[in-house]
Structure 1
């Protein structure tokens, strides 16, 4: 390879564009390096060091490089006319890792001449400009804002994977159900909008995991079930705890143990100590496993109602049940 061109490729972390190379070497130099197998053209005008490309039968070159490098190549192809969005934006925001078999997503203005390529999906959006507030810089990368990225990715993901990035973003306090609802108002034609609204309603109600949402829908609402609070903050023993599902009048904390909890002795020990501390406040902790909640929802519901009834009877005989102190 031409020594000057090699330096450009190395300075670009294995990437060079035809425009940049054309500033210092004749265009035929780039073509010769490509024909010789030193460079691989992954997008129009964008070349990678061939050593970074792992050719795979039936896969385009852009799909044969690490996802981060593929996103860099896509942005070079856009040449300032677009920003990472959808699944690619979620990766940049750190709420979902994009897999190597998923295409890079770019959003560009409606009038842009850029178009989709193998392993690259270009979304043309009306009234879109590559500037704030529609585009922000994160890790020196232009990307659509988190709230918009989450909603854009919703119909692209398989149904079973759609809630996870939104739940994670809300749990990490990087957005709220209310903010996402406001953003959704501007997307009246978003596919699967009804299911998304249900998820946002559950998050607004305090649910913080798919298991809690399942419990809300199949166990902890309906006839006979009193109003229950979710993710109640309680200060005890110098520590702050959050109660999954809390019956305030009866002082019963219902904990929903994830599928892996019973296999982790250390977590089990932590849970037991926490339960003991809550008992000093008169709070009864009742735990249900993932298996029982999913496969025996009716039985779990009957047990919860029986426990709450027993606590109310006990309170009637021994004095009122009061709310826990919280900080």
Structure 2
């Protein structure tokens, strides 16, 4: 168990309990929240504190999930990270938070952002763009607004069964009524052939611009 205490408290570590002495810390709001009768540090601060405690491969998951589930925000994580200038592997966490702030919502989207969908010729995609159509709001993975193209990245474990495929087809048909072309790339193809995916995306965007 990790316990935050004010600097100068005089408390020391005990078996299975590690104390973190923080300057200016007080076990009261807004630095803590009460959950189940216990005072605990805010989630954004907890995620930053836990970052170096996890194996490197396990570190991004809790941060991504917390933002996706709207339990915290990238802005709060940035503020919490600013309080820890010497955090282990701080640059990686900062880059992850930056990607989440840009709208990436999965490791696959982050990889695509870094290796495929940025750079010369690529538009400034709007990530998680809300589109109101058919009485519902649809959020687009990566929307090129000028070209009216939405790029969707299908994860390795999602969109695999017929029912989910049918949902995708109905969703794409709805977007077509608004003049939006949906282009889908699978997890396998994106990782195995990133250059091909990049060139095809650029060709589709160029074609949409020339035909508009």
Equivalent position of 1:135 in the other structure? 32
RMSD over aligned CA atoms reads 1.6
How many residues in Structure 1 have an aligned counterpart in Structure 2? Answer: 211
2:111 to 210, 214, 219: 214
1:116 to 6, 9, 14: 14
1:197 to 69, 94, 97: 94
Report the Cα offset of residue 258 of structure 1.
0.9
Q: Deviations over 1:145-183 (max 9, x none)?
A: 111111101111111221222222222223221221122
Which stretch of structure 1 is more off in the superposition, 271-280 or 195-204? 195-204
Gapped runs of 5+ residues in structure 1? 1-103, 316-327
Deviating above 4 A after TM superposition, structure 1's stretches of 4 or more consecutive aligned residues are none
Equivalent position of 1:258 in the other structure? 155
Distance in 1, matches of 2:82 and 2:11, equals 29
Gapped runs of 5+ residues in structure 2? none
Query: Do structure 1's residue 152 and structure 2's residue 49 form an aligned pair?
Result: yes
Which stretch of structure 1 is more off in the superposition, 119-128 or 245-254? 119-128
Distance in 2, matches of 1:313 and 1:285, equals 18
Distance in 2, matches of 1:252 and 1:263, equals 23
Equivalent position of 2:131 in the other structure? 234
Residues 252 and 283 in structure 1, CA contact (< 8 A), matched pair in contact too: yes
Which stretch of structure 1 is more off in the superposition, 126-135 or 299-308? 126-135
Equivalent position of 2:210 in the other structure? 313
What TM-score, normalized to structure 2? 0.93
Residues 261 and 268 in structure 1, CA contact (< 8 A), matched pair in contact too: no
Residues 253 and 285 in structure 1, CA contact (< 8 A), matched pair in contact too: yes
Q: Which has the larger radius of gyration?
A: 1
Query: Do structure 1's residue 285 and structure 2's residue 177 form an aligned pair?
Result: no
What TM-score, normalized to structure 1? 0.61
Report the Cα offset of residue 262 of structure 1.
4.1
Q: Deviations over 1:239-294 (max 9, x none)?
A: 11000001111111100111112422221111110001001111111100111112
Q: Deviations over 1:84-129 (max 9, x none)?
A: xxxxxxxxxxxxxxxxxxxx32223343434131x44333333333
* SS across alignment from 1:249: coil
